[in-house]
Amino acid sequence: MIFAAFLKTLGQLGDRRFRRVLLLGVGLTLALLIAVYAGVLWLIQATVGDTTVLPVIGEVTWLGDLLSGASLFLMVVLSVFLMVPVASAITSLFLDEVAAAVEDRHYRELPPVEGPSFGEGLKDTVNFLGVIILANTLALILYAIFTPFALFIFWGLNGYLLGMEYFTLAAMRREGRIAAIRLRKKNRLTIWAAGVLMAMPLSVPVMNLLIPILGAATFTHIYHAIRRKAGPSG
């Protein structure tokens, strides 16, 4: 189910409408990543003073470092961690448009749907984003204690959180909040596995820019596969 959904997503890359959303999503993802990264550098400066020294990078002076060549390297490295909240934030902006493109191509028998309002979708995304930031902050303790397994903990934790978010938002378009959550709970292992497979490439710099939009499309396919398997009665 998961790999079939991803292959369908890749098969739609030639679709002009889907490709436009993908490119727009990549651009906004990059812009948001830079903004988050700038915030991290500002936080470093605010915490330790105007200038500090980081391993490999050297002196960090926020604006000076933000515009330097070394800053690009640092941002690429930090994107492994920063892309998780960025991927979460991007869902409310693009999931509905991505899902509509996917359904127009693969599920034409379905009637049009308005989905949740922008305010409702934004509220859910902010809630998910808060949970993701809090969970990853607390997970720093586990990373320190179980250092050899830190990457696997990172994948498992964020795979669960992102899978939960992407599936819920995809399902809410047609199910409503309560039914979407019920469906998610019944299929949590499948959704978790799909989320982990999404979190893994988020750890790969540059490639991770593509994942938020591809993930939204893939989870739309996964939702429809689960919905069909569940049958009319759910």
Q: What is the pLDDT of residues 181-192, one digit of tens each?
A: 999 999 999 999
Q: Using the predicted structure, report yes or no on whether residue 197 has a pLDDT greater than 60.
A: yes
Share of residues in the chain with pLDDT > 90 (%): 35
Residues 6+ apart with CB under 8 A from 121: 92, 95, 96, 115, 169, 172
Joined together, the tokens standing for residue 128 give: 């998910």
Distances (CA, A) of 126 to 82, 86, 136, 172, 203: 16, 12, 15, 16, 22
Closest CA to 220 of 169, 170, 185: 170
Q: What is the pLDDT of residues 129-159, one digit of tens each?
A: 889 889 988 998 998 899 999 899 999 999 9
**Are the CB atoms for 66 and 38 separated by under 8 Å?**
yes
Joined together, the tokens standing for residue 116 give: 């949740």
Residue 111: phi and psi, rounded to 5, are -75, 155
Q: Which residue has the higher pLDDT, 103 or 53?
A: 103
Share of residues in the chain with pLDDT > 70 (%): 80
Cα separation, 165 vs 191, in Å, equals 10
Residue 52: phi and psi, rounded to 5, are -140, 170
Q: What is the pLDDT of residues 87-120, one digit of tens each?
A: 888 877 788 889 999 999 999 898 888 766 667 7
